[in-house]
């Protein structure tokens, strides 16, 4: 299977801008074309590792939650809230290495830290979490406090504590005990400190000289374990991975492979796949997505919650459980339903509370995740569908393309009177195509989105709009088709779809933009992905085993690196 | 290497465009003026805040026909008539693009708030509320409080590039944050410092102990991000310091009761309710020194407000509603623009309702109300409507309409900073770089 990484798509620089109102809670991903020239024959073995800069990534909300659950227990409550994650180049995973931390954000971490520490050291559960008992009820037990600090320091900082760090947190415990009276209160505040530390909240990557390549750098074993673990489990390194890191096993091919295979086979892979797709599909947009309850009475908060879960379940079932072909996500009629969803889909759901597997009927016009409520509703207005938003998001999310904003000064009134009898979105949008300023971009979005027009702004089916028959013909990169099943099949067959996934998955794994020198490596990954039958766990395995994933290059010639980064960032400020 | 302080970080981010040095609070602005003193004899702090509504206005219904004090109140500003004397109407001030792409609903807003036009969704320098907060925000429990009334998790208060101060979107959560755990009733009468607060302080100083060492191991960009982390830690430390002191008594303060749960979404009637609730809670918080700086986002700049059962939002209407040939403007858009001014009055009412010294909280507040554009249909950033409301503790003059005549909007931002005591002589970049204040505003 030949897979070219070069995106075969229209050059959007020619596109003057979108003429429709692109309102909504989603910050549009600004994504540059990935246009590094591919060699004629994509490499079958990994090219020499190029390496990008080390990054400092803030734990995302889901990573924080998973980490606390793994280090302590899933039922340890997290009291604080989380500030909204920022996206960079379409991914929160990349935004987590560039964004700041507000006073509000830290205040909330403080609340979480105090709640967790009180639970862990409280009378009810200390036997479960504290690895030793103090020798005396009154005197400070330095040995036990040190053991506690070492145990949780390793788990929370993802590396052993340095001597001065250990002394610092043991010192906190001692001082707190002196003031508050109890040994466990001392431990409580030592733990609060570790949970507030930048070494916990930020994944700071450390480098060391690469003994195999003179003058080159690589991640140290602990940073390797951390990168690997959050990539394959969306959580902190477990005890076995930390042991392997400490024993130097991650620096050998065999030792690394053993850990990668173990994690790929573990049930936690599902969490990683979920977290990645939640991010890629921009489901954080549901946080401020509203639908008019008069126009869409069936859409409510249960539907909004279940709609996201439905799509994630479909993805996990196909990609992880069945080890299926990624491209089939666009054509499969297999899905999952709850009763609230059944009302919008107009499908019977036998299960009273909870989920059941289901299949979209052939006549439903639904196929693949593009026809899930989650995708259809997220990229619509509060009171109507939007062919433009749907087309734009499809290009940005699944094809890694960037559709520019509408030009600043355009007359939009052509798309007025949405409810005019006999009017359809296609008729209204046709006005744009008569206007050369608008047509450039609308040609890229609308022919895709219009094929989904028999789904309303909440994702419900409609045969007609304002009494008029719907024309569902569409076009994408030269292929013509009709309706959602046609769109799904076209996406399935589009060679850029898997290439874009490779690009996003790798960027998510390393938490940064691709550097130019990594172009051949991404070609290699795309080839590997194709050869595996587009199995996502296989792609993750290839990334996790590759040298490139752990390679680090400090920007020796900063000017050059910056230029490449700036070029990729396009017009982003 | 210059000494790294919070201030130099902030200023450094402006790339030298606006270099200013903070001076201590200038007593001369306050004293010798009985109105700045509470009945308890305590000096009343000055507060600063912003209030944004999205999608601009209908100029012929908002801009007074004449300048000065004796203008005829235009129809869409009619709700603000009770505050005529405490309000300066500023029309005709422009964000200058200097060739920067106009990112719809973003560039005008950030240009107004930072003096720099940006082509994207993040500011590249601290916003004016943060700059002023550096000067007046010390000594309050929260450096600032951000609010969004339409359910949108956005904020246009930025500490720097990529660092927004996030907004509260629910009145219940706002109440919890301010009046929940950690709140000290100023009039409780008894005070016993919590020993755990002292322990928490020592924890934070342990957390920050290896700051220098850590910074050395990072590249420049990550070092700046780490500095932000430490700035946030410092703000929590200051909160704890306050909690160890008995709170100053506040006249007329009664502990607000927790609001009932409300529907948080973008239906304009729900937004009006949530906005009013949040404004009331914020005013109470300002009165008892929980914060001195705030930012309220009434509607997002690409306003998602909608009327029940309508398939359009305020924003989509601005682009798609035809101009009514008889009226000469978009009728539904005008409805939202007028509604926004009703909301603005609700907000100012909340400040004016609280008695403080010989006047009200409004007299000690400087409020900048503005939109993101003038004509939303074309995303025009020329003539963005603005109002400066409140007495600013006697530091600002109001009661007039001033036409900007296409002057850079940064003149207003510069004036407000100077009024709040910042020693800044110039503000803005390129065509918006100015050293001219709006003299009518400066008291």
Distances in Å between the Cα of A70 and the Cα atoms of A67, A259, A550, B267 are: 5, 18, 24, 41
Please check whether residues B370 and B306 belong to one and the same domain. yes
Q: How far apart are CA A455 and CA A372, in angstroms?
A: 10
B229–A106 CB contact, under 8 Å: yes
Domain that holds residue A154: 60-203
Please tell me if residue A255 touches chain B, with a CB cutoff of 8 Å. no
pLDDT digits (tens, 9 = 90+) for A515-564: 999 999 999 999 999 999 999 999 999 999 999 999 998 765 444 333 33
Q: Please check the confidence at residue A38 and state whether its pLDDT lies above 60.
A: no
Please check whether residues B152 and B232 belong to one and the same domain. no
Helix (H, G, I), strand (E, B) or coil at B408: strand
Burial A100-126 (b: 16+ CB within 10 A, else e): bbbbbbbbbbbbbbbbbbbbbbeeebb
pLDDT interval class at B378 (50, 70, 90): confident
Which residues of chain B lie closer than 8 angstroms to A153, CB-CB?
none
Mutate one of A208, A292, A403, A438 to test the B interface: name it (highest B CB count within 10 A): A292
Packing angle of the helix pair A496-510, A221-233 (nearest 10 deg): 130
Residue (of A218, A194, A187) closest to A205 by Cα position? A218
pLDDT interval class at A394 (50, 70, 90): very high
Mutate one of B229, B236, B291, B429 to test the A interface: name it (highest A CB count within 10 A): B229
Please tell me if residue B274 touches chain A, with a CB cutoff of 8 Å. no
Check residue B199 and report its DSSP letter: H
What's this model's pTM, rounded to 2 decimal places? 0.89
The answer to whether position A250 is within a domain reads: no
Mutate one of B206, B211, B264, B324 to test the A interface: name it (highest A CB count within 10 A): B206
Q: Please check the confidence at residue A18 and state whether its pLDDT lies above 50.
A: no
Please check whether residues B186 and B200 belong to one and the same domain. no
pLDDT digits (tens, 9 = 90+) for B338-376: 999 999 999 999 999 999 989 999 999 999 999 999 999
Please tell me if residue A424 touches chain B, with a CB cutoff of 8 Å. no
Please tell me if residue A408 touches chain B, with a CB cutoff of 8 Å. yes
Share of chain A above pLDDT 70, in %: 86
Please check whether residues A67 and A146 belong to one and the same domain. yes
| Mean pLDDT computed over B418-440 | 97
| Mean pLDDT computed over A272-300 | 96
CA dihedral B31, B37, B39, B42 (to 10 degrees): -90
Q: How far apart are CA A203 and CA B103, in angstroms?
A: 33
pLDDT digits (tens, 9 = 90+) for B175-224: 999 999 999 999 888 899 999 999 999 999 999 998 999 998 888 889 99
Residue (of A83, A73, A112) closest to A191 by Cα position? A112
How far from each other are the two terminal CA atoms of chain A, in whole angstroms?
Answer: 39
The domain boundary residue, chosen from A171, A203, A235: A203
For residue B260, with 0-12 CB atoms within 10 Å meaning exposed, 13-18 middle and 19 or more buried, which class applies?
exposed
For residue A397, with 0-12 CB atoms within 10 Å meaning exposed, 13-18 middle and 19 or more buried, which class applies?
buried
Least trusted range by pLDDT, from A356-370, A434-448, B130-144: A434-448
pLDDT digits (tens, 9 = 90+) for A333-352: 999 999 999 999 999 999 99
What is the pLDDT at residue B23? 34
User: How many separate domains does chain A show?
Assistant: 2
Please check whether residues B342 and B385 belong to one and the same domain. yes
B266–A20 CB contact, under 8 Å: no
- Our separate counts of H helices and E strands in chain B read 12, 11
Q: How many CB atoms lie within 10 A of CB A558?
A: 12
Please check whether residues A96 and A10 belong to one and the same domain. no
Please tell me if residue A403 touches chain B, with a CB cutoff of 8 Å. no
A-facing residues of B in 289-348 (CB < 8 A) are: 302-304, 306, 308-313, 315-316, 318-323
- Among the partner residues B152, B165, B231, nearest to A104 by beta-carbon distance: B165
Mutate one of A100, A161, A513 to test the B interface: name it (highest B CB count within 10 A): A100
B101 half-sphere exposure, CB direction, 13 A CA radius = 15
Q: Mean pLDDT, chain A, as a whole number?
A: 88
The answer to whether position A444 is within a domain reads: yes
- Among the partner residues B162, B302, B321, nearest to A86 by beta-carbon distance: B162
What is the pLDDT at residue A410? 57
Q: Which residue has the tokens 């001065």?
A: A164
Least trusted range by pLDDT, from A389-393, B20-24, B142-146: B20-24
Please check whether residues A493 and A348 belong to one and the same domain. yes
Please check whether residues B185 and B294 belong to one and the same domain. yes
Q: How far apart are CA A483 and CA A365, in angstroms?
A: 7
Please check whether residues A452 and A519 belong to one and the same domain. yes
The answer to whether position B330 is within a domain reads: yes
The answer to whether position B441 is within a domain reads: no
Please check whether residues B109 and B12 belong to one and the same domain. yes
Task: For residue B305, give how far its alpha carbon lies from the nearest alpha carbon of chain A (Å).
Answer: 10
pLDDT interval class at A416 (50, 70, 90): very low
What is the pLDDT at residue A17? 42
Q: How far apart are CA B111 and CA B432, in angstroms?
A: 9
What is the pLDDT at residue B19? 35
Distances in Å between the Cα of A339 and the Cα atoms of A304, A309, A332, A347, A375 are: 13, 13, 21, 9, 19
A56–B159 CB contact, under 8 Å: no
What is the pLDDT at residue A19? 39
- The residue of chain A nearest to residue B149, with distances taken between CA atoms, is A288
User: How many separate domains does chain B show?
Assistant: 2
Please check whether residues A391 and A535 belong to one and the same domain. yes
Please check whether residues A50 and A71 belong to one and the same domain. no
Please indicate whether residue B251 or residue B207 has the higher confidence score (pLDDT).
Answer: B207
Task: Judge contact between A392 and A22, C-beta under 8 A.
Answer: yes
- Among the partner residues B151, B303, B319, nearest to A412 by beta-carbon distance: B319
Distances in Å between the Cα of A393 and the Cα atoms of A85, B36, B102, B343 are: 19, 54, 21, 34
Which residues of chain A lie closer than 8 angstroms to B313, CB-CB?
23, 381-383
Please tell me if residue A196 touches chain B, with a CB cutoff of 8 Å. yes
The domain boundary residue, chosen from B245, B267, B283: B245
The answer to whether position A294 is within a domain reads: yes
Share of chain B above pLDDT 90, in %: 81
Least trusted range by pLDDT, from A187-191, A550-554, B273-277, B306-310: A550-554
Residue (of A524, A538, A562, A548) closest to A4 by Cα position? A524
Please check whether residues B68 and B205 belong to one and the same domain. no
How do A217-219 and A551-552 pair as beta strands?
antiparallel
Q: How far apart are CA B332 and CA B266, in angstroms?
A: 16
Task: Judge contact between B415 and B438, C-beta under 8 A.
Answer: yes
Please check whether residues B210 and B354 belong to one and the same domain. no
B-facing residues of A in 505-564 (CB < 8 A) are: 554-555
Give alpha helix (H) positions in B217-313.
Answer: 220-243, 268-287
pLDDT digits (tens, 9 = 90+) for A101-139: 999 999 999 999 999 999 999 999 999 999 999 998 789
- Among the partner residues B104, B121, B312, nearest to A408 by beta-carbon distance: B104
Contacts of A233 (CB under 8 A, 6+ apart): A66, A263, A266, A268, A269, A271, A272
For residue A463, with 0-12 CB atoms within 10 Å meaning exposed, 13-18 middle and 19 or more buried, which class applies?
exposed
pLDDT digits (tens, 9 = 90+) for B75-85: 999 999 999 99
Which residues of chain A lie closer than 8 angstroms to B134, CB-CB?
none
Please tell me if residue B380 touches chain A, with a CB cutoff of 8 Å. yes
CA dihedral A443, A446, A450, A452 (to 10 degrees): 130
Domain that holds residue B233: 192-245
A189–B200 CB contact, under 8 Å: yes
DSSP annotation string for A479-530: EEEEHHHHHHHHHHH-THHHHHHHHHHHHHHHTSPPPGGGHHHHHHHHHHHH
pLDDT digits (tens, 9 = 90+) for B281-337: 999 999 999 999 999 999 999 999 999 999 999 999 998 899 999 999 999 999 999
pLDDT digits (tens, 9 = 90+) for A233-262: 999 999 999 999 999 999 999 999 999 999
Task: Judge contact between B406 and B97, C-beta under 8 A.
Answer: no
The answer to whether position A482 is within a domain reads: yes
Check residue B50 and report its DSSP letter: E
What is the pLDDT at residue A572? 33
pLDDT interval class at B13 (50, 70, 90): very low
Phi-psi region of A89 (alpha: psi -120 to 50; beta: other; left: phi over 0): left
| Mean pLDDT computed over A227-235 | 98
| B196 Cα distance to chain centroid | 33
Please tell me if residue A262 touches chain B, with a CB cutoff of 8 Å. no
Least trusted range by pLDDT, from A196-205, B40-49, B337-346: B40-49
Task: For residue B372, give how far its alpha carbon lies from the nearest alpha carbon of chain A (Å).
Answer: 13
Q: How far apart are CA A427 and CA B21, in angstroms?
A: 59
Cα dihedral across residues A388, A393, A399, A405: positive or negative:
positive
Please check whether residues A106 and A13 belong to one and the same domain. no
For residue B297, with 0-12 CB atoms within 10 Å meaning exposed, 13-18 middle and 19 or more buried, which class applies?
buried
Task: Judge contact between B160 and B125, C-beta under 8 A.
Answer: yes
Please tell me if residue B237 touches chain A, with a CB cutoff of 8 Å. no
Please tell me if residue A176 touches chain B, with a CB cutoff of 8 Å. yes
Please check whether residues A141 and A158 belong to one and the same domain. yes
Give the CATH number, domain containing residue B261. Answer: 3.40.720
pLDDT interval class at A319 (50, 70, 90): very high
Q: Mean pLDDT, chain B, as a whole number?
A: 90
Contacts of A182 (CB under 8 A, 6+ apart): none
- Among the partner residues A22, A180, A412, nearest to B196 by beta-carbon distance: A180
What is the pLDDT at residue B14? 36
Please check whether residues A380 and A409 belong to one and the same domain. yes
Share of chain A above pLDDT 90, in %: 76
Please check whether residues B123 and B238 belong to one and the same domain. no
pLDDT interval class at A302 (50, 70, 90): very high
Please indicate whether residue B101 or residue A1 has the higher confidence score (pLDDT).
Answer: B101
């Amino acid at each position: 299977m030949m897979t070219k990484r070069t995106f075969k798509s229209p050059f959007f620089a020619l596109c003057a801008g979108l003429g429709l109102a692109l309102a909504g809670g989603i910050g549009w991903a600004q994504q540059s074309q990935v246009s590094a020239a591919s060699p004629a024959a994509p490499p079958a073995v990994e090219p020499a590792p190029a390496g990008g800069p080390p990054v400092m990534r803030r734990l995302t909300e889901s990573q924080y939650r998973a980490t606390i659950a793994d280090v302590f227990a899933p039922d340890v409550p997290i009291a604080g809230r989380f500030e909204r994650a920022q996206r960079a180049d379409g991914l929160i995973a990349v935004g987590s290495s560039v964004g700041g931390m507000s006073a509000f954000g830290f205040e909330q971490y403080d609340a979480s830290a105090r709640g967790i520490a009180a639970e862990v050291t409280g009378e009810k559960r200390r036997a479960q979490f504290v690895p030793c008992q103090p020798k005396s009820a009154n005197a400070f037990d330095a040995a036990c406090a040190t053991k506690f600090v070492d145990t949780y320091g390793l788990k929370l900082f993802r590396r052993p504590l340095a001597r001065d760090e250990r002394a610092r947190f043991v010192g906190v415990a001692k001082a707190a005990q002196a003031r508050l009276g109890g040994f466990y209160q001392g431990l409580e505040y030592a733990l609060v400190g570790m949970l507030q530390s930048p070494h916990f909240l930020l994944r700071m990557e450390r480098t060391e000289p690469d003994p195999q390549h003179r003058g080159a750098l690589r991640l140290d074993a602990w940073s390797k374990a951390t990168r690997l673990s959050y990539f394959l489990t969306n959580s902190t390194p477990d005890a076995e991975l930390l042991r392997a890191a400490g024993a130097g096993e991650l620096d050998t091919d065999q030792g690394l492979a053993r850990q990668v295979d173990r994690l790929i086979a573990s049930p936690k892979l599902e969490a990683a796949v979920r977290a990645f797709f939640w991010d890629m599909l921009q489901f954080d947009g549901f946080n401020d997505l509203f639908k008019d309850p008069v126009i869409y009475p069936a859409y409510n908060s249960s539907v909004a919650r279940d709609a996201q879960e439905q799509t994630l379940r479909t993805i996990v079932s196909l990609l992880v459980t069945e080890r299926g072909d990624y491209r089939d996500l666009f054509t499969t009629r297999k899905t999952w339903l709850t009763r609230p969803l059944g009302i919008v889909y107009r499908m019977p759901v036998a299960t009273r509370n909870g989920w059941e597997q289901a299949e979209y009927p052939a006549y439903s016009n639904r196929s693949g995740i593009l026809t899930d409520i989650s995708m259809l509703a997220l990229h619509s207005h509060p009171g109507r569908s939007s062919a433009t938003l749907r087309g734009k998001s499809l290009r940005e999310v699944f094809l890694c393309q960037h559709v520019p904003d509408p030009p600043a000064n355009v007359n939009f009134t052509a798309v007025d009177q949405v409810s005019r009898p006999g009017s359809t979105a296609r008729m209204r949008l046709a006005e744009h195509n008569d206007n050369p300023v608008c047509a450039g971009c609308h040609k890229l979005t609308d022919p895709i989105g219009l094929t989904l027009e028999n789904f309303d702004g909440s994702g419900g089916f409609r045969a007609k709009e304002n009494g008029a028959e719907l024309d569902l013909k569409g076009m994408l990169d030269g292929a013509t088709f009709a309706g959602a099943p046609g769109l799904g099949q076209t996406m399935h067959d589009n060679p850029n779809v898997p290439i874009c996934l490779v690009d996003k998955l790798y960027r998510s794994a390393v938490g940064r933009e691709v550097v130019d020198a990594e172009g051949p490596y991404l070609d290699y990954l795309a080839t590997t992905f194709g050869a595996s039958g587009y199995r996502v766990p296989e792609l993750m395995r290839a990334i996790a085993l590759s040298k490139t994933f752990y390679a680090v290059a400090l920007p020796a010639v900063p000017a050059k690196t910056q230029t490449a980064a700036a070029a990729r960032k396009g017009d982003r400020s | 290497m210059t000494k790294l302080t919070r201030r130099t970080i902030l200023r450094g981010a402006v790339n030298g465009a606006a270099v200013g040095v903070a001076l201590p609070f200038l007593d001369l602005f306050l004293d010798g003026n009985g109105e700045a003193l509470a009945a308890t004899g305590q000096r009343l702090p000055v507060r600063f805040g912003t209030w944004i509504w999205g999608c601009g206005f209908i100029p012929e219904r908002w801009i007074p026909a004449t300048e000065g004090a004796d203008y005829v109140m235009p129809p869409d500003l009619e709700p603000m008539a009770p505050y005529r004397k405490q309000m300066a109407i500023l029309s005709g001030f422009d964000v200058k693009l200097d060739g920067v792409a106009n990112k719809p609903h973003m560039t005008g807003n950030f240009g107004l708030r930072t003096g720099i036009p940006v082509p994207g969704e993040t500011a590249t320098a601290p916003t004016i509320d943060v700059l002023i907060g550096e000067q007046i925000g010390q000594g309050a429990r929260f450096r600032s409080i951000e609010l969004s009334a339409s359910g949108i998790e956005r904020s246009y208060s930025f500490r720097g590039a990529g660092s927004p101060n996030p907004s509260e979107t629910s009145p219940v959560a706002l109440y919890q944050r301010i009046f929940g755990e950690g709140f000290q009733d100023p009039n409780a009468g008894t005070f016993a410092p919590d020993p755990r607060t002292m322990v928490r302080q020592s924890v934070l100083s342990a957390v920050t102990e290896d700051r220098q060492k850590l910074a050395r191991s990072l590249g420049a960009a990550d070092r700046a991000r780490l500095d932000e982390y430490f700035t946030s830690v410092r703000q929590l430390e200051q909160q704890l310091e306050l909690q160890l002191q008995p709170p100053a008594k506040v006249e007329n303060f009664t502990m607000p009761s927790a609001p009932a749960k409300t529907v948080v979404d973008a239906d304009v009637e729900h937004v009006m309710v949530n906005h009013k609730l949040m404004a009331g809670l914020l005013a109470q918080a300002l009165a008892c020194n929980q914060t001195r700086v705030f930012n309220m986002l009434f509607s997002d700049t690409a306003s998602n407000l909608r009327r029940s059962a309508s398939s359009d939002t305020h924003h989509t209407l601005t682009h798609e509603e035809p101009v009514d040939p008889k009226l000469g403007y978009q009728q539904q858009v005008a409805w939202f623009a007028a509604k926004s001014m009703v909301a603005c009055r609700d907000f100012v009412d909340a400040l004016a309702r609280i008695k403080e010294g010989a006047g009200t909280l409004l007299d000690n507040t400087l409020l900048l109300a503005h939109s993101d554009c003038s004509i939303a249909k074309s995303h025009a950033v020329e003539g963005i409507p603005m109002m400066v409301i409140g007495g600013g503790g006697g530091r600002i003059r109001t009661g007039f309409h001033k036409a900007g005549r296409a002057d850079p909007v940064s003149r207003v931002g510069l004036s407000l900073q100077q009024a709040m005591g910042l020693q800044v002589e110039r503000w803005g970049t390129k065509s918006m770089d100015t050293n001219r204040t709006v003299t009518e505003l400066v008291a």
